[in-house]
Amino acid sequence: MKSKNLLAIAVCGLLQVGVTTHASENVSDSLMEAFSNGNTSLSFRYRFEFVDQDGFDKNANASTVRTRLNYKTEAYKGFSFFIEADNVTEVFIDDYNAGAGNSPGNGAYPVVADPQGTEINQVWFNYDFSEGNGIKVGRQRILLDNQRFVGGVGWRQNEQTYDGISGSFKFANNKLFVAYVDNVNRIFGEDVAAGDHDNSTLLVNWSNKVGDISKITAYYYDINNKDAAAFSTATLGAKFAGNIDAFNYALEFANQNDAHNNAVDYSANYWRIDAGYKFKPVTLFGGYEVLEGDANNAGSMFRTPLATLHAFNGWADKFLGTPADGLEDLFIGVKGNISGFKWQAIYHDFNAQDGGRDLGSELDLAIAKKVNKHLSLLLKAAFYDADTHASDTSKVWFMVSSSF
């Protein structure tokens, strides 16, 4: 399914380029120049991940490196082409479960969702008909707002990308993004069924910049997932964010209903408030996020199946799926930059939205250093203390990233 969908999309893109450029003068010479002047980039990301999780006989130790190679042509009369390939390889240690059936012999280990494999991560044709206005056809990265609803799950070694067509439009202080998604290429890779989800999904995101200090965003995400009916949802929401001098804030609300092949009849809300204040050299921040659920109606919780979930509700990833009785996340943190070392600490207190069940707490810590324009380092840890949800979990990561 995935290969057929991608092939159809790519052919459509080729036909679009052919029809548009056929009437142009010196087509062959111009296209050759666009390709010969293209840019190639290469990057490596090594990561060691340790997981100690109650309920498993063994600790996970995952040592993987992602190699990414991409190429982009120069634009010719607004047209450009891009292709990107990723390879994820285990390095010396493979004591982990890659998840979704990727490691059938490693069930005694906790999940580290970084399966081995080589894939085309992105391949697309783009046409920009004016500055800030363009159409993209093919397999592409889609990152909307803070990726709470639609993102690329960039923390994992195998990125989530989307097969489809998208348009970006800019007028006055407004930006509009519209996409039709035919297939979601998930982090589990092509070798397992969960790695691809057949979709007929519509994504609409509009934003307006109000002066120099605030921004309004409205969105509608109509997800029709033909492989996972529980993910089929229609979400309508809005966000208001801005800053006043050293103070920043954000308010967001969304309503979600079942859609398409989803068998559960429900309506659930989402809301979030964020605030932060910068005291040189540190910034204090905090917030409160709620995803509604209903303990008496299975499957009726607010879901975000396309989100970059690692960035929300704790780095230990204990809430990749919303609990049946919902989730309340009260968090506070501090971050700063000292001598080029970026660091942060975040504390989360989790409770069920329906009934108030204690879902535990978590402490997250990170420090990062950009050594030079080619090399960066990261040390990161998460400590989840369970109560009535999941199990105690400690995770530690060390990552080295390089690009050329």
* Domain boundary assignment for the chain: 2-403
* Cα torsion angle, 176, 182, 187, 190, sign: negative
Assigned token pair, 132: 């800030």
Assigned token pair, 344: 């942060």
| 12, 19 Cβ separation under 8 angstroms | no
| 197, 231 Cβ separation under 8 angstroms | yes
Tens digit of pLDDT at every position of the chain (404 positions): 444 444 344 434 433 433 333 333 323 348 889 999 999 999 999 999 999 999 999 999 999 999 999 999 999 999 999 999 999 999 999 999 999 999 999 999 999 999 999 999 999 999 999 988 999 999 999 999 999 999 999 999 999 999 999 999 999 899 999 999 999 999 999 999 999 999 999 999 999 998 878 999 999 999 999 999 999 999 999 999 999 999 999 999 999 999 999 999 999 999 999 999 999 899 999 999 999 999 999 999 999 999 999 999 999 999 999 999 999 999 999 999 999 999 999 999 999 999 999 999 999 999 999 999 999 999 999 999 998 899 999 999 999 999 99
* Cα torsion angle, 155, 157, 160, 164, sign: positive
The residues with which 176 forms a beta bridge, in sequence order, are 169, 206
Assigned token pair, 294: 């209903």
Interatomic CA distance for residues 314 and 353, integer angstroms: 17
With b meaning 16 or more CB within 10 Å and e meaning fewer, what string describes 252-289?
Answer: bebebebbbebeeebebebbbebebebeeeebebbbeb
Contacts of 379 by beta carbon, 8 Å cutoff, 6+ apart: 366, 367, 368, 397, 398, 399
Interatomic CA distance for residues 402 and 382, integer angstroms: 24
Interatomic CA distance for residues 160 and 182, integer angstroms: 14
pLDDT tens readout for residues 75-86: 999 999 999 999
- For the residues of 72-122, what is the DSSP string, one character each? EPPPBTTEEEEEEEEEEEEEEEEESB-STTS-TT-TTS-B-----EEEEEE
Residue of 155, 201, 141, 207 whose CA lies nearest to 312: 155
The CATH code of the domain at 2-403 is: 2.40.160.10
Interatomic CA distance for residues 115 and 129, integer angstroms: 39
For residue 140, count other CB atoms closer than 10 A to its CB. Answer: 23
